[in-house]
Amino acid sequence: MTPVLLSARAAAALLQDWRVGSNAVAYEALADAVRVLVIDGRVPLGARMPAERGLAEALGVSRTTVANAYARLRSSGYLASLRGSGSVVRLPRDLVGRPDPERLGGVVSGDVLDLRKAALHAAPGISEAVDRAVRHVPAALAGIGYDTVGDPGLRAAVAARYTARGLPTTPDQVVVTIGAQHAIALLARVLVRRGDAVLVESPTYPHAHEAFREAGGRLVGVPVDARTGWDVGVLEAALRRSAPSVAYVMPELHNPTGATMSDAVRSTLLDLASSVGTTVIADETMGELRIDGQASPPLATHSSSVVMIGSADKVFWGGLRIGWIRAEPELLQRLLLARPTGDLGTPVLDQLVARELVPLTATVLEARRATLRAGRDAVVDALRARLPEWDVPSPAGGLTTWVGLGRPVSSALVLAARSEGVVLASGGVFGPDGGFERFLRVPFTMAPADRVRLVDVLERAWARTGGAGSGTRGSLAAVV
């Protein structure tokens, strides 16, 4: 397989802050920065790095600096020299064959607090729902088990939930998927052609922008801030100039910032999308996990052309791989025709369990709200007290807070925390084109003892990476 080439320009964009906060010699700092990109998954394994001369020119350094950095990466196992392919990204041998705690995927073991995935533990009542679902198994066994549309009872329950929230919906407007990520990927495959512009928020859910890129989309980012929300000027310009085929947004409790789209921004988005022929996809995966205030009606309430994505995973349990798409029947038919090339249907037993649970959503959310409020307040208050240099928002809901660090050291902070057994995703993971090294997504869903551990480790990690007046940091090799 021919390695994917990372251009000098693209590499320079990912490495724009490589010298900030480091007193290491230039080639060591550059090698450290590249290693962080590999660990975070922003430079994929097997990618071919730019030629030394090209990267040196793009970064404004000497070729010797780049050559020495590459040599350091080779000696540590992050690069390999292949005849005819140049320098190709690899993982060190001691990381091959086992999950790397810095990546978004994989499972870590031992005394490790893994906070890469923001999620709650299973809601009470799931065992009972499983028992009730088992009663429907004999009837389900009468079918062949390949279900690309969804269990009729579950689709009716999802439709009833939308209707109760102010969006009249019928079961024929719902298709059940294998979680929300599957829904995103399926929509990307059907709605995006190679070279199409795709509007995404920046930052955003990383596996969403990966899905649109995989479909051939050309991403156009619109900034979202935890405190000020969406940059409406950039949103307007992006829609008018690029006329994207798709706009993927999280209007309610945006991941990772926690922001909620104002009525004025929603109106601008929908009006302009309609005028340029853009299909708006509204992802509500986090949308119902509100702690404070009232939730806004689903975005499709204001436009029948909006496609809604929902999920049972965040509300009930991540192991229940059930999501759904709400759209007009014509689009759903296109999705169903395309679906068999990727999967042959949603597991029937999971659907039977979800059919029992979805009608209980409002009750479960009420119970979840108290747990989320306690976690949010404890983590936010502790971070504000122990790390006063940080900007720590208190989001109105969701599962995380998007912390402003004040300096571009997110990856260094994550690596330092990892050395003490706390695994987080750096801010750059959430940027469609990298960046966001000044931010860190901090979940607040863990048990009280783990909250204490998290804040203790972050305080020490901050000191080790140059915070709290401790001076500038050295090479990241010390904390890998």
Put simply, whether the predicted model's pTM sits higher than 0.85 gets the answer no
Give the pLDDT score at 476. Answer: 35
pLDDT at site 102: 41
At 40 the pLDDT is 61
Residue pair 291/373 in contact (Cβ under 8 Å)? The answer is yes
The per-residue pLDDT for range 339-371, each reduced to its tens digit, is: 999 899 999 999 999 999 999 999 999 999 999
Give the max Cα distance, the chain: 71
Antiparallel, parallel or unpaired: β 323-326 and 174-177: antiparallel
Cβ 47 vs Cβ 3: under 8 Å? yes
Q: What is the CATH number of domain 137-359?
A: 3.40.640.10
* Cβ atoms of residues 422 and 142 within 8 Å: no
**CATH architecture of residue range(s) 113-122+363-478:** Alpha-Beta Complex (3.90)
Q: Where are the domains of the chain?
A: 8-89, 113-122+363-478, 137-359
Percent of the chain whose predicted confidence (pLDDT) is above 90:
70
Tens of pLDDT, residue by residue over 181-191, are 999 999 999 99
Q: Give the pLDDT score at 412.
A: 84
State which residues of the chain have pLDDT below 50.
1-2, 95-108, 469-480
Reported as a single tens digit per residue, the pLDDT across 445-469 is: 999 999 999 999 999 999 988 765 4
Concatenating the DSSP letter of every residue in 197-230 gives EEEEEES--HHHHHHHHHTT-EEEEEEEETTTEE
Measured torsion, CA atoms of residues 429, 435, 437, 441, in degrees rounded to the nearest 10: -40
Q: What's the confidence (pLDDT) of residue 428?
A: 85
Residue with tokens 């972050």: 458
Give me the CATH code for the 8-89 domain, please: 1.10.10.10
What's the pLDDT at 479? 27
- Mention every residue, 6+ apart, whose C-beta is less than 8 A from residue 45: 38, 89, 90, 91
Task: Quote the CA–CA distance of 339 and 82 in Å, as a whole number.
Answer: 38
Looking at residue 126, its pLDDT comes to 94
Q: Which residue has the tokens 């009716």?
A: 156
